[in-house]
Amino acid sequence: MKKYKARLVLAALLLLLSSCNPDADNGGGGGTGEAPENTFLKVENSSAFSIEYLGEGSKLVTDGENQKFLLVPRGATAPEGYEDAILLYTPVERAISFSTTQIGMIAHYDGILDYFAGVSWEAGSWGDLANIEEYMGSGKIKFIGGTPPDYELIQEINPELVFVNTGSSPQTDIIDMMNQLGIPMAVANAYMEETHLGRMEWTKFLAAFFDYEEDAAIYVDQQVERLTQMEALLAGRDKPKVAWGMVYNGIVYVPGNESYVANAVRAAGGDYLFSHIEGAGSAQISVEEFYSVLVGANIWMYSSNKNYVPNYKALLDLAPIVADAPVVLDRNVWQFDVFYYNYTNEADIQVIELAAIFHPDVFEGYSFRHYNPIAE
């Protein structure tokens, strides 16, 4: 009976996944001004930003550095009493994203890319994320350079807003230059969240500047439902032992116990073997120390992709000591898809795919999008 119930739950989850098409029409902007005055959009799993409705379509948005933006529908009069906030008219036009993780969270909303004019990754780097490649091919969205960006092109674009990161990996030089140029910046620090649920919430923040936050709220609710179905499938099951780490120049980079990675592993029904490493960031440990833990693992998630580690030979060239680890002998080492970091709108599916790796008997026949086993 227990197995029969699990099959029913799996069928429900697969149905939810099959109906999840991030590139489908997700509405044309949800900010209709119908929200009651002085109410906040529901944000349950992050305290790093907020969206307050002020009535008549206006919103007060607080970003990751506590900057406040007064967002007013184009053609409307700004409400009084918010003179200290940065005034922007919505939907914001000619926006620039300095991170793939930012635009990746909202690119699937139908028509939202019409409001972007620049991104920091070249054409050909986006995979099948929405239709960014089409926009870049037509010149509607321009590559504004990597490090450093093309500041002359940015001035030519004349963006109404750019999205930047601060936190543990701040875009300091970009922020300084934007200040010099007088270009407004909104801080979107989704990457600082320590849980997938927290990161998922940031689609609402980004969407609010284009009046799509109601669509974003619906989308997040769907993500939570899929994760709830996954949890039901995993209830009461044994937890495989999971190692997570990447080798670079003889050092292994391992996420700490409070990190996004550790929390995702646990959510996906795994036992994270590096829980003794404190903190939310990554620690650098020796290959020998990593190996001493790896020998007890059932699964090794290698946090890079085939462009850097195309096969087991390449892996063993980086760390010969791991050759006799059972997880290597069993060929149960997985890595990221090449476009993994582009699909921040699929944080829920990335966790579900971890569950499918950890519990293949539950997710039999699962077709992976975000991870792949290292090639022989």
Place 271 in a pLDDT band, splitting at 50, 70 and 90.
Answer: very high
Q: pLDDT by residue (tens digit) across 71-97?
A: 999 999 999 999 999 999 999 999 999
Q: pLDDT by residue (tens digit) across 176-227?
A: 999 999 999 999 999 999 999 999 999 999 999 999 999 999 999 999 999 9
Q: Work out the average pLDDT over 51-80.
A: 97
Q: Work out the average pLDDT over 356-366.
A: 97
pLDDT at 100 over 50: yes
Angle at 225 between CA 244 and CA 115, to 5 degrees: 85
Alpha-carbon separation of residue 12 from 3, 248, 361, 368 (angstroms): 14, 41, 16, 18
What is d(CA 325, CA 307) in angstroms, rounded to the nearest whole number? 23
Q: pLDDT by residue (tens digit) across 155-165?
A: 999 999 999 99
pLDDT at 269 over 80: yes
Q: Are 117 and 96 in contact (CB under 8 A)?
A: yes
The values of phi and psi at residue 192, to 5°, are: -80, -15
The predicted structure's pLDDT at residue 14: 58
Q: Work out the average pLDDT over 228-253.
A: 97
Q: Are 187 and 164 in contact (CB under 8 A)?
A: yes
pLDDT at 345 over 50: yes
Q: What percent of the chain has pLDDT over 70?
A: 90
Q: Are 263 and 195 in contact (CB under 8 A)?
A: yes
What is d(CA 338, CA 308) in angstroms, rounded to the nearest whole number? 10
Alpha-carbon separation of residue 150 from 95, 153, 184, 297, 302 (angstroms): 15, 5, 17, 46, 34
The predicted structure's pLDDT at residue 33: 45
Alpha-carbon separation of residue 297 from 245, 274, 319, 330, 371 (angstroms): 12, 10, 16, 11, 18
The predicted structure's pLDDT at residue 1: 47
The predicted structure's pLDDT at residue 238: 97
The predicted structure's pLDDT at residue 17: 60
The predicted structure's pLDDT at residue 5: 43
What is d(CA 100, CA 342) in angstroms, rounded to the nearest whole number? 6
What is d(CA 275, CA 51) in angstroms, rounded to the nearest whole number? 35
Q: Work out the average pLDDT over 323-347.
A: 97
In the predicted model, what is the mean pLDDT of the chain? 92
Q: Tokens 């099948």 label which residue?
A: 128
Q: What percent of the chain has pLDDT over 90?
A: 86
Place 29 in a pLDDT band, splitting at 50, 70 and 90.
Answer: low
Q: pLDDT by residue (tens digit) across 104-161?
A: 999 999 999 999 999 999 999 898 888 999 999 999 999 999 889 999 999 999 999 9
Domains detected in the chain: 15-226 (3.40.50.1980), 239-373 (3.40.50.1980)
